[in-house]
Amino acid sequence: MRHPLIRPGTSSSSNLLDLIKETYMEESHDIVIVGGGICGLATALALHRKGIASLVLEKSETLRVDGGSIGVHVNGWRVLEQLGIAAELRETANLVTAFHDVWQEEEKSTLTPVRKELRWLKRKDLLETMAKNVPAGAIRLGCHITAIHPSDPGAVLTTPGGSIIRAKVLIGCDGSNSVVAKYLGLSPAKSTPRTFLRGFTRYPHGHPFGDHFLRLRGKRFFVGRSPITDTLVSFFVACHIPSADACHLLHAGDTRDMRATRHSVVQKLEGQCPAEIVEMVQNSDPESLNVVTKVWYRPPWQVAFASFRKGTVTVAGDAMHAMGSYIGQGGSAALEDALVLARSLARAAAGSGGGRDDEPCERTMIVGAATAIGGYVRERRLRVARLSLEAFVVGELLRAKSLATKLACLGILALLGTKALGHTNYDCGRL
Ligand SMILES: Cc1cc2nc3c(=O)[nH]c(=O)nc-3n(C[C@H](O)[C@H](O)[C@H](O)COP(=O)(O)OP(=O)(O)OC[C@H]3O[C@@H](n4cnc5c(N)ncnc54)[C@H](O)[C@@H]3O)c2cc1C
């Protein structure tokens, strides 16, 4: 029987290849970024600022803005400055000046000033601001990369629809379940169960909470609340949510399920915590609600020793160092990755000109890119391993039952300077 791809008169191998190319769309790009989240868009924007084109492939049909808000510390703001979007984003979010910690059962509370810049941004604002600053056509939505094959240089990417995309340089910014990390031979990220409801509440006449981030710990719940603007707050409630056990029901935007989930959380909180907290959850915007059922992380020893480069293929952001929400640094660390990687590639590109014809020039560019990626991995390794360790230990401390484990965790965190937010002071330099 004739193969469906072989038409009469196309029996030679070159004709067959042409036909395959014709049948399955094939294209080639210098730099391809898989994933259009914080890291992917920041990398594309950083490269664009250095005059280097790239193509972002994002599997969702729209930019994924679920997750509500994200706390960006001073290290993240330094990167946003370098990307040229800090001023615009500052207009969207107030400064947070202190952490207000309350331990309800112990009837204890503390106020810790935040001395450097910290703001909770709407993820939507962050992603859309980055997206509108990269050239039109640089982001392709609805493009799910399902497999990656080796190629020299770079890699070949395929989609379920049969598209073939050749990338001379491939950057995996595809989050904790990264297909690029898998191609590099990294073990899958680990997950730990942690259930919380997140969302926004609007106060049309202004909220009374000032500029403090509240962390309220009760017997069976933990509430976080951050002001975004004078009329908008973002919050999370960590507690057991029975309907989250059937988590397939809890998609963001599925407002019917979200209203039911919100109702069950309100019932849990009623009588257990101040009325203003219950009202905040009760009055939240159902469209903004979203439930997290597990948190992904890459263990610190993997981040410290894994191989993050194969030729001109690498990873950044959660694909490299998923660290959950424990120290609120995953997003800012992803921004740092983007800057350092773009800077390294730009230096390599600057040094690769001058070949006498296309072929040697391209080889120089590829060798330069591989070296640049090696430099990026070296520069980031210690920083992200340290952050991963810190996040991991905070997670262990929350789960710890024995006093010895708790003391060991607290000892490590004291050494790392977690309480004083030492990790936020990092400056990854200029683009
Ligand atoms: C509950 C929670 C709260 C957090 N709070 C904070 C905080 O306050 N501050 C902070 O700095 N960090 C925080 N983090 C961490 C932060 O959200 C992440 O570190 C950050 O979003 C990582 O960005 P990323 O672009 O690397 O990955 P992601 O945001 O996961 O983006 C990956 C993108 O790749 C796309 N993708 C995946 N696979 C493919 C594929 N095969 N083909 C094409 N596209 C693909 C996805 O659709 C997605 O858009 C929090 C995390 C959690 C879970």
Instruction: Indicate if the alpha-carbon torsion angle 125, 126, 129, 132 is positive or negative.
Output: negative
Report the residue among 32, 38, 423 best suited for mutation to probe ligand 1: largest number of ligand atoms under 8 A from its CB: 38
Q: Look up the CATH number of domain 193-295.
A: 3.30.9.100
Predicted pLDDT at 249: 43
Which residues neighbour 241 within 8 Å (Cβ) at sequence distance 6 or greater? 195, 196, 197, 261, 264, 265, 291
DSSP secondary structure of 349-383: HHHS---SSHHHHHHHHHHHHHHHHHHHHHHHHHH
Q: What percentage of the chain has pLDDT greater than the value 90?
A: 74
- Rounded to a whole number, what is the largest CA-CA distance in the chain? 84
Whether 332 lines ligand 1, by a CB cut-off of 6 Å, is yes
Three-state secondary structure call for residue 167 = strand
User: 26-91+124-189+306-387, which class in CATH?
Assistant: alpha beta
Ligand 1 center to 13 CA (angstroms):
43
Report the nearest-CA residue for atom 52 of ligand 1: 325
Q: At what angle do helices 330-351 and 74-83 cross, to 10 degrees?
A: 40
353/5: higher pLDDT: 353
Query: 407: CA distance to ligand 1 center in Å?
Result: 31
Condensed to tens digits (0 to 9), the pLDDT of residues 208-255 reads 999 999 999 998 899 999 999 999 999 999 988 876 655 544 444 556
Q: How far is the CA of 37 from the centre of ligand 1 (A)?
A: 6
Distance 64 CA to ligand 1 centre (A): 9
Question: Going by C-beta distance under 8 Å and a sequence separation of 6 or more, which residues neighbour residue 391?
Answer: 297, 323, 324, 326, 327, 329, 330
Residues of the chain with CATH 3.50.50.60: 26-91+124-189+306-387
Closest Cα to atom 21 of ligand 1: 331
Does any ligand 1 atom lie closer than 6 A to the CB of residue 329? yes
| d(C-alpha 232, C-alpha 227), whole Å | 6
Residue 355's pLDDT band, with cuts at 50, 70 and 90, is very low
User: In 10 A of CB 74, how many CB atoms?
Assistant: 18
Q: Verify whether ligand 1 is closer than 6 Å to residue 57 (CB atom).
A: yes
Pocket test for ligand 1, best of 148, 170, 174 (most atoms within 8 A of CB): 174
**pLDDT given at position 248:** 44
* Helix 74-83 / helix 38-49 crossing angle, nearest 10 deg: 40
Cβ pair 196, 339 in contact under 8 A:
no
158: which strand partners? 147, 164
Give span(s): CATH 3.30.9.100, the chain.
193-295
